[in-house]
């Protein structure tokens, strides 16, 4: 049973203090399984009440092993089951109370004429509001407006943003420190859209299939192809620059 107290290690002993991790150390631990996780993402999950690390007198976050485990569960449920944060929080809280609860699933079930049950709605990734995105990425309204103008970040049709918007915003900020402005990134956006279109051509027939298992396979294939195209893009940029990243 999951044991992930929110308050971290609070017994006050020197041994426990040595086990506490900085947010940077937590990032390194999580990136083994979640390469795309960022410090901003961890801060956002904290702001959403999914984890409550201790604070030093200077205000620095200190995470216990239980905090890191809890973050791993949250990221895993987002990645593998597309659960919104509210549902994940309720699920983990129930586990902490000692309740044996099944993993929630999204989508309503409806019956086909042949009697086969199928999900009425495709799973959707976790979403956040505009204020949540601004807080997680630590940017202001003007910056976000500019990024939207150049198509770097796009609101969802029904409003709000997906979780990847935080990663994009964080990277845009980091590139900005080197003098690379949002207008310079339009070519990268266009290249990403072409890569996404190529992947979509491959998996589209699977997504339209009536069999739920085949559609689930399409999602797994999409993730695999996205990872491969991302690695190829990185390798091509490194080759063009004549450098190799560690």
Residue 245: per-residue pLDDT: 66
Q: Per residue in 174-214, pLDDT tens? A: 888 889 999 999 888 888 888 888 888 888 888 787 787 88
Residues 53, 86, single domain; the answer is yes
For the chain, the average pLDDT equals 78
Q: What is the pLDDT of residue 229?
A: 87
Q: Are residues 137 and 163 in the same domain?
A: yes
25 assigned to some structural domain: yes
What residue numbers bound the domain in which 188 lies? 184-246
Q: Quote the percentage of the chain above a pLDDT of 90.
A: 15
Tokens representing 3 are 């044991």
Count of the separate structural domains present in the chain: 3
Specify if 120 maps to a domain.
no
Inside any domain, residue 118: no
pLDDT at 233: 83
**Could you give the C-alpha distances from 175 to 39, 168, 172, 179, 190, in angstroms and in order?**
16, 11, 5, 7, 17
Q: What's residue 8's pLDDT?
A: 45
Task: List 117's β-bridge partners, or say none.
Answer: 111
Q: What is the mean pLDDT of residues 24-30?
A: 90
CATH number, domain of 26, equals 1.10.1660.10
200 shares a domain with 151: no
| Reduced DSSP (H G I as helix, E B as strand, rest coil) percent helix, strand, coil of the chain, to 5 | 55, 5, 35
Are 134 and 176 part of one and the same domain?
A: yes
The whole-number pLDDT of residue 58 equals 83
Provide the whole-model pTM.
Answer: 0.49
Residue 114 falls within a domain, yes or no?
Answer: no
Residue 71 — pLDDT band, cuts 50, 70, 90? very high
Beta strands in 134-176 (DSSP E): 161-162
Q: Is the pLDDT of residue 137 over 50?
A: yes
Residue 163: is its pLDDT beyond 90?
no
Percentage of the chain beyond pLDDT 70 is 82
């Amino acid at each position: 049973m999951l044991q992930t107290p929110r308050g971290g290690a609070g017994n006050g002993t020197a041994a426990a203090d040595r086990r506490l991790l900085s947010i940077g150390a937590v990032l390194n631990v999580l990136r083994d399984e979640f390469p795309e996780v960022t410090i901003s993402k961890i801060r956002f999950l904290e702001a959403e009440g999914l984890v409550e690390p201790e604070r030093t007198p200077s205000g620095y976050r200190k995470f216990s092993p239980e905090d890191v485990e809890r973050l791993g569960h949250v990221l895993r449920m987002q990645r593998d089951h597309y659960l919104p944060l509210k549902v994940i929080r309720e699920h983990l809280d129930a586990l902490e109370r000692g309740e044996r609860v099944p993993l929630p699933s999204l989508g309503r079930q409806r019956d086909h004429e042949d009697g086969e049950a199928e999900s009425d709605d495709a799973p959707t990734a976790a979403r956040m509001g505009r204020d949540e995105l601004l807080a997680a990425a630590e940017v202001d309204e003007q910056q976000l407006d500019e990024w939207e103008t150049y198509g770097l970040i796009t609101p969802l049709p029904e409003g709000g943003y997906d979780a990847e918007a935080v990663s994009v915003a964080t990277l845009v900020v980091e590139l900005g420190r080197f003098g690379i402005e949002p207008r310079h990134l339009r070519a990268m956006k266009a290249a990403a859209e072409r890569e996404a279109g190529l992947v979509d051509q491959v998996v589209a027939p699977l997504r339209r299939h009536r069999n739920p298992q085949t559609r689930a396979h399409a999602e797994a294939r999409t993730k695999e192809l996205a990872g491969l195209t991302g690695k190829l893009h990185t390798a091509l940029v490194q080759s063009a620059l004549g450098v190799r990243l560690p």
